[in-house]
Structure 1
Amino acid sequence: MKLAGHDAMARQADERTATYRVKLPRRVVERPLLQVARRVVMALAVLVLTALLVWVDRGGYNDNSDGSVDLLDAFYYATVTLSTTGYGDITPVSDGARLTNIFVITPLRVLFLIILVGTTLEVLTERTREEWRLNRWRSTLRDHVVVVGFGTKGRSAVETVRTTGLKPEQIVVVDPSAKVIDAANALGYAGVLGDATRSDVLLRAEVQKARKIIIATQRDDTAVLVTLTARQLNRGAKIVACVREEENAPLLRQSGADAVITSASAAGRLLGLSVLSPHAGMVMEDLIQQGSGLDLVERPVIKAEVGLKPKETDDLVVSVVRGHRVLGYDDSAVGVLQLTDRLITIVRVTPTRRVAPDAKPLPQD
């Protein structure tokens, strides 16, 4: 039993230290069988063209067996010539036939060989193209969002962030599961396969250039380690992390997280609210689902609102963010709105009204 446990621990260690890689979204490519069929057709077309050229100029060729070249001999000569076998039993004897071999059949032979080794060439070309795409992606990626963990919480967080107009190219998913990374690629997101607690994996995700980092791992201890590593690599990014147990939230804040969402407690509070008031629970559920119905967003104060009280604005203001303080809409310290304030408002999203690009959806559980 001890030996089996040791082997299991060793396998887990190997998985953690497995080679990581970056996977970018791909365009839909032709299926392998169709690619092979297409190459076979091209090879046959080159063979037929060569045979026809030989047969048309059959008077310029000599067959050692009977001295004449018919259609079958033309195909035979084309086959052994294009495959570079060259038995020498059929040879070009006229100047025209020899010139045709030099300027036409020789290029066709090269083309035929390229088609035969097309798979190898395609692999090499694909590797070169993928390396070029990866280098270009790294050089152009700035102010993006890194999502560590792409389970239910991670996907929901990305969907919420996307409501502000963020493009898929600005999202990078980090996860140790190859299937999860493939799912992220299918949605148009770049993916980094590896353990996010390692700094080299986060560097592959260009976390040092990221503007926001979302940590939605399955384990709280993993979230702490990822937060510590990410904060060490990027001092200015906004880090939002999710934990299961509320007692671990202070540890995450000490590790460098700007905001911590406790999923178990938040879900429990929503359950309790739904029991006490099902309608209030429905409203809260609507608020945390961005992009439809009522949305809870943070936006800057516009010039027309400067000098007004929160109740006098067109939107339903819940809180006012002034500096590093969050004040209630009825807090006497608010007074009137200032240009540097930000408002947390409840807005109704309709086909004619979307969340403004500079508005921020509030972090949800």
Structure 2
Amino acid sequence: MIHFPAQRRGPLSALSLRLAAAIGLVLAVVAVVFIERNGYRDVNGDGLTLLDCFYYAVVSLSTTGYGDIVPATQEARLVNVLFITPARVLFLIILVGTTLEVLTEQYRTGRRLHRWERKVKDHVIICGYGTKGRSAISALMENGLDKSRIVVVERDGPALRQATSNGLVVIEGSATRSSVLNQAHVRTAKAVIIATDSDDASVLVALTVRQLTAGQVRIIAAAREAENAPLLKQSGAHHVIVSSATAGRLLGLSTSAPPLIDVVEDLLTPGQGMALAMRSAERHEVGKNPRELETLVIALVRRGKVVTVADRANAVIETGDMLVHVRDDRPTANTLP
């Protein structure tokens, strides 16, 4: 099942609005009947009281119509035709509003699904909306990826609702099932990020994605244990991030070299100061050593392989290289004189 971000009010708000509209309509009919009460005939023959007007309004709007109170004059009948009859139709629409809203929502969801299926392409699929999945989405959006190009695959109810409330499209189900990944249009995806809670599930997801896409879609997976990283790569993952080993190294750095952990934290935290970025080499930069540039370049990406600036033999910028550099990520950086 595909869940789209909610675009409607809460149920209590919608119900309160309908109730207020129904009460307002009843009061309006009561007022009109009370003003024209001399034009109505009562079986008792004693005229219409305010309570009689309420009674007539309710039985008329609900189409019950007992016939004990009827319009007798031409003016009262004209008012009945021009006002009370349309009010009766409107009152019935309010009463069946819930059914109409459900049908409308189903139609709207169908339209959104059809439009989404036509446009979804070069998107990123996030398998798992836990801590790792949410962090991956934040990093993607910080690097300019539009939220509409992110699809979450999640089967946990609370996590699913949180993802939809954050404006993301969510496929409900397990990412290990090919039918679920097909709903996410995995064959036209740009990349699949596997952020499940267990390594065995990650391996199954990687195998399923590789089988469906014939290895044409980039797979990035997170592993809890370093010993499972080779298995994930054999299963089809192009890159494996070992969360436990990475956390352990950072913990070790924080003890033996505290300033280094501050630098790493600064690089990984958006809007704090420094941030890692990547851009294409410009024409006037070709043939130069990265150390000669004003930008602080720490590596080159050449034909899919990383060339560090420490490699003096190859650390010369060539056409088509991507420059990995450190940029100023402070929010006020662009506003400084």
What CA deviation, in whole Å up to 9, does each residue of 1:116-141 have, x standing for no partner? 22222222222222232232222222
What CA deviation, in whole Å up to 9, does each residue of 1:52-99 have, x standing for no partner? 333333343222211633443333222221121211112223344333
Residue from 343, 346, 352 that aligns with 2:323? 343
Contact in 2 for aligned 1:320/1:334 (Cα 8 Å):
no
Q: Structure 1 residues 285, 56: CA separation in 2 closer, same or farther (over 3 Å shift)?
A: closer
Does 1:257 find its partner at 2:237?
yes
- Counterpart CA distance in 2 for 1:344 and 1:91 is 84
User: What is the one-letter code of the residue matched to 1:147?
Assistant: I
User: Which ranges in structure 1 are unaligned for 5 or more consecutive residues?
Assistant: 1-20, 355-365
How far did 1:261 drift?
Answer: 1.0
Within 5 A, what are the aligned runs for 1:135-214? 135-214=114-193
Other-structure match for 1:100: 79
How far did 1:296 drift?
Answer: 2.5
Residue from 23, 36, 41 that aligns with 2:3? 23
How far did 1:310 drift?
Answer: 1.6
Other-structure match for 1:53: 32
Residue from 324, 334, 343 that aligns with 2:304? 324
SS at structure 2 position matched to 1:79: helix
Does 1:241 find its partner at 2:241?
no
- Counterpart CA distance in 1 for 2:119 and 2:129 is 23
Other-structure match for 1:363: none
- Counterpart CA distance in 1 for 2:323 and 2:16 is 61
Query: How many residue pairs get matched?
Result: 333
Residue from 228, 231, 254 that aligns with 1:274? 254
User: Identity percentage over the alignment?
Assistant: 45
Does 1:287 find its partner at 2:267?
yes
- Counterpart CA distance in 2 for 1:28 and 1:53 is 34
- Counterpart CA distance in 2 for 1:53 and 1:320 is 80
SS at structure 2 position matched to 1:119: helix
SS at structure 2 position matched to 1:299: strand
Contact in 1 for aligned 2:300/2:309 (Cα 8 Å):
yes
User: What is the one-letter code of the residue matched to 2:302?
Assistant: R
Contact in 2 for aligned 1:318/1:328 (Cα 8 Å):
yes
Q: Structure 1 residues 48, 280: CA separation in 2 closer, same or farther (over 3 Å shift)?
A: closer
- Counterpart CA distance in 2 for 1:176 and 1:113 is 40
Q: Structure 1 residues 102, 297: CA separation in 2 closer, same or farther (over 3 Å shift)?
A: same
Contact in 2 for aligned 1:163/1:291 (Cα 8 Å):
no
Of the structure 1 ranges 259-268 and 231-240, higher mean CA displacement relative to structure 2 is found in 231-240
Within 5 A, what are the aligned runs for 1:295-314? 295-314=275-294
User: Which ranges in structure 2 are unaligned for 5 or more consecutive residues?
Assistant: none
SS at structure 1 position matched to 2:151: strand
What CA deviation, in whole Å up to 9, does each residue of 1:287-330 have, x standing for no partner? 33344322223321112211211211122222222213322213
- Counterpart CA distance in 2 for 1:106 and 1:278 is 79
- Counterpart CA distance in 1 for 2:8 and 2:96 is 23
How far did 1:30 drift?
Answer: 4.2
Other-structure match for 1:6: none
The alignment's TM-score, normalised by the length of structure 2, stands at 0.90
- Counterpart CA distance in 1 for 2:177 and 2:61 is 54
Other-structure match for 2:66: 87
- Counterpart CA distance in 2 for 1:238 and 1:230 is 9
Residue from 116, 119, 127 that aligns with 2:95? 116
Contact in 2 for aligned 1:160/1:289 (Cα 8 Å):
no
What CA deviation, in whole Å up to 9, does each residue of 1:149-185 have, x standing for no partner? 1212112222222211222222221122110111222
Other-structure match for 1:360: none
Q: Structure 1 residues 348, 41: CA separation in 2 closer, same or farther (over 3 Å shift)?
A: closer
Contact in 2 for aligned 1:323/1:341 (Cα 8 Å):
yes
How far did 1:241 drift?
Answer: 0.5
- Counterpart CA distance in 2 for 1:86 and 1:194 is 52
- Counterpart CA distance in 2 for 1:335 and 1:53 is 88
Contact in 1 for aligned 2:124/2:149 (Cα 8 Å):
yes
RMSD: 2.2
User: What is the one-letter code of the residue matched to 1:193?
Assistant: E
The alignment's TM-score, normalised by the length of structure 1, stands at 0.83
Contact in 1 for aligned 2:300/2:315 (Cα 8 Å):
no
How far did 1:191 drift?
Answer: 1.6
User: What is the one-letter code of the residue matched to 1:281?
Assistant: I
Contact in 1 for aligned 2:308/2:315 (Cα 8 Å):
no
Other-structure match for 2:51: 72
Contact in 2 for aligned 1:146/1:210 (Cα 8 Å):
yes
Other-structure match for 1:215: 194
